[in-house]
Amino acid sequence: MTHRPVLTHTRAELADALSRLPGTKALVMTMGALHSGHLQLVREARELADHVIVTIFVNPTQFAPGEDFDAYPRTLDADMDALETVGADLVWAPAPQDVYPTPATVTIDPGPIARVLEGKTRPTHFAGVALVCSKVVNLVRPDVALYGQKDAQQLAVLRTVFSQLDIPVRVHPVAIVRAQDGVALSSRNQYLSDDERIRARTLVRTLRRGVEVAEAGAEPKDIISQCRSVIDAEGGIDLDYIALVDAGTFEILAGTESVPVGEGAAAPTILPDGSREGRILIAATVGTTRLIDNMEVLLRDATGPVGLVAEQAGGLA
């Protein structure tokens, strides 16, 4: 049986509401404009803890000048209605001054893992993400925090930050949720026109091409070359990057300059059979909307055949 979650805004309201929730707690952090992907995070959170806390906050420190902070959709009433259907217990929807009572003069440098791909395009982004996530985890003190695999690099950054700062929370990844046409769900999808939505489907087609040629034994550089051919054939898409990375370290294996992530990152993700987990990541602008997506592959060895790791993501993924 679902119930409407308690809505809080200030730190004092949050602390009081948390004190009334005995048992284990799961945290789902969002910027609102909730869709089915967010709701899947809450559903999985209910399986992992006694209570689910959801935050709704458009965090200014992760937006650079000229990005869509002011335009980012804010739909609190609709978000509360959606969360009522999946059993969230508590929502914290603070104003910026509640999260940052004084100007944010302290920063967190997540290290080399945050300087490639998204971090190269948006150099201040992951520092802002690391700061707000660390602050909220410290305020909520959850047993587990859930983050979506669509933001795969963010997930890797937060694992690194929480581990190295000894922040006592377990990080739980949740698979990508896709619409029926294969497009990864995102709050920014609502910016797409009908024609742009059709072009946006090219991203998932590109990733699937990479998986197909990987299954056939292509080397990393050829996987990325085939992916680029899909983008080039479509037209009307401004490609930021497409890269094959190690799923744990985010070492770039193909697609752009090879950048070692340095000491302190996670170890390469080697499975019991000796294969290495990889991930193909893409970022591109369709119209005026910047979209990201990714898909997993298995690297049998440094130069050998690659096979698909199926994503239990729903839709056409």
Going by the annotation, the residues of the binding site for (R)-pantoate are 62, 154
Going by C-beta distance under 8 Å and a sequence separation of 6 or more, which residues neighbour residue 9? 92, 93, 94, 95, 98
Where is the binding site, in residues? 31-38, 62, 148-151, 154, 177, 185-188
Instruction: Specify the DSSP class assigned to residue 270.
Output: B
Q: How many Å apart are CA 228 and CA 225, to the nearest integer?
A: 5
Q: Are 110 and 160 in contact (CB under 8 A)?
A: yes
* Eight-class DSSP state of 71: T
Tell me the DSSP string of 167-178: ---EEEEE---B
Q: Which of 3, 38, 51, 125 is catalytic?
A: 38
Beta bridge partners of 277: 298
What string of DSSP letters covers 218-267? --HHHHHHHHHHHHHHH-SEEEEEEEEEETTT--EEESS------TTSPP
CA-wise closest residue to 206 among 164, 234, 238: 234
Q: In what order do the strands lie in the sheet with 51-56?
A: 6-8, 90-92, 51-56, 25-30, 144-148, 170-174
Catalytic annotation on 38? yes
Q: Which residues are part of the catalytic machinery?
A: 38
